[in-house]
Amino acid sequence: MKFTFITLFPQLVSPYFEDSILKRAIKNEKIEIDFKNPRDYTKNKHNKVDKAQAGGGAGLLMNPQPLCDLLDSMKSDDPDIHVVFPLPTAKPFRQIDAKRLAKKKHIVFVNGRYEGIDERVIEQYANEVFSIGDYVLTGGELASMVMSDAIARNIKGVLGNEDSLSEESFEDGVLEAPSFTKPNIFRGSAIPSEFLKGNHAIIYALKKELSGLKTNYFRPDLFLRNIKGK
């Protein structure tokens, strides 16, 4: 799987892939990352990448010309690129999307800056649009990093222990049960005793119950949809 980040600030994104699991995934050729800078595709004298908004309005937009030329050239090299625009106005990015997108060959994230991107560029090029939450970031880079991380860990061979994927939060639309490590008593607080007795059926049932309680407490929306509604 290849991730290309279209960004005016590649140096914001690249360090994230220089350590830990994602660094190993690149070394093992499970993922590849690439950067394209719209500034390299400008046709004006000062390589300007911003433009005033039509009809006025506070702030500038990204100039469509460099973005479109760049995307056209990428599409002519590889017609199968899957183009994703991170946008605060889009539907929320979810685990189910991360799993689905992990099967793509080449995802291209088009990262907005300033007050965003001319809507026509999004309409013409987006295969998908996603928001990572109900707040406004200064640019799409953080959102693309969040999504590429969540996608990458669902690619076969990226995680050391793939069993952990099937036991994670959101897997069945619910949150993971609380987890514990040794010692049995830490700062006066004890692990539920069933976790220490080795009966896997009992531990499984307890985890399911705790997962339900946690989901109800922190995410009543998921609880209603995926536990109570079933």
Q: What is the spatial distance between Cα 109 and Cα 168, in angstroms, rounded to a whole number? A: 26
Q: What is the spatial distance between Cα 180 and Cα 207, in angstroms, rounded to a whole number? A: 11
Per CB under 6 A, does 131 bind ligand SAM?
Answer: yes
Comparing CB distances to ligand SAM, the nearer of 8 and 155 is: 8
Per CB under 6 A, does 164 bind ligand SAM?
Answer: no
State the nearest-atom distance from the C-beta of 98 to ligand SAM, in Å: 15
State the nearest-atom distance from the C-beta of 138 to ligand SAM, in Å: 6
State the nearest-atom distance from the C-beta of 182 to ligand SAM, in Å: 39
Cβ atoms of 107 and 82 within 8 Å: the answer is yes
Map tokens 């690619």 to a residue. 155
State the nearest-atom distance from the C-beta of 2 to ligand SAM, in Å: 20
Q: What is the DSSP letter of 6?
A: E
Closest CA to 194 of 185, 204, 181: 204
Comparing CB distances to ligand SAM, the nearer of 89 and 127 is: 89
To 10 degrees, what angle do helices 141-152 and 20-27 make? 70
Cβ atoms of 149 and 104 within 8 Å: the answer is no
Q: What is the spatial distance between Cα 181 and Cα 186, in angstroms, rounded to a whole number? A: 9
Q: What is the DSSP letter of 225?
A: I
Per CB under 6 A, does 143 bind ligand SAM?
Answer: yes
Per CB under 6 A, does 140 bind ligand SAM?
Answer: yes
Residue sitting closest to ligand SAM (CB): 112
Count residues near ligand SAM (CB under 6 A).
20
Looking at residues 66 to 125 of the shown chain, list those that interact with ligand SAM (rule: CB under 6 A): 86-89, 111-113, 115-117
Comparing CB distances to ligand SAM, the nearer of 64 and 88 is: 88
Q: Give the residue, chosen from 26, 68, 137, 165, that forms a contact with ligand SAM under the rule CB under 6 A.
A: 137
* Upper half-sphere CA count for residue 67 (Cβ side, 13 Å): 30
Contact residues: ligand SAM, CB under 6 A: 86-89, 111-113, 115-117, 131-133, 135-140, 143
